[in-house]
């Protein structure tokens, strides 16, 4: 994963969740995260809004980690279409049609890793066959 500004193109060291923050050099741009999975997905520059959707899918909210990862689904609306495309290209989410609901998306383990999930959270969110 690489963090960079979409305006001045300057690269930044930091964590996935910094996507969406203003660029530190005050160029007025926003930080995005380039995520390129090991699978055959092409990779994508992920925005702050995209990261928030992944966090929402995984119930990552607030500092209390005991409440994270108890869910893993996101039902996008029409306005989410571009974001979902980037998240799939980045290997962070996939469309899940197994239950016949065509537009439910699930976060991939890569998303948990980038959000700093430890083994317990990884198991809770992605283990157990779902
Ligand atoms: Zn910048
Ligand atoms: Zn800059």
Band the pLDDT of 100: cuts 50, 70, 90: low
Q: With residue 2 as reference, give the H or E element that holds it.
A: strand 2-5
Residue 96: CB atoms within 10 A of its CB come to 16
Q: Quote the ligand 2 centre to 31 CA distance (angstroms).
A: 10
Structural domain that includes position 64: 2-126
Q: Quote the ligand 1 centre to 44 CA distance (angstroms).
A: 18
Angle formed at CA 10 by CA 23 and CA 41, multiple of 5 degrees:
100
Q: Quote the ligand 2 centre to 62 CA distance (angstroms).
A: 30
What is the count of structural domains for the chain? 1
The mean pLDDT of 75-99, rounded to a whole number, is: 92
The mean pLDDT of 99-116, rounded to a whole number, is: 88
Q: Which ligand is nearest to the CA of 7?
A: 1
């Amino acid at each position: 994963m690489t963090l960079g500004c979409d305006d001045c193109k300057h690269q930044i060291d930091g964590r996935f969740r910094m996507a969406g923050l203003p660029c530190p050099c005050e160029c007025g741009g926003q930080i995005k995260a380039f995520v390129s999975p090991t699978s055959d997905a092409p990779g994508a520059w992920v925005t702050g809004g995209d990261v928030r959707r992944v966090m929402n899918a995984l119930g990552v909210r607030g500092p209390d980690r005991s409440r994270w990862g108890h869910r893993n689904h996101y039902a996008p609306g029409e306005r989410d279409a571009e974001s979902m495309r980037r998240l799939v290209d980045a290997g962070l989410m996939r469309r899940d049609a197994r239950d016949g609901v065509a537009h439910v998306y699930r976060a991939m383990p890569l998303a948990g890793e980038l959000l700093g999930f430890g083994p317990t959270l990884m198991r809770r969110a992605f283990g157990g066959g779902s």
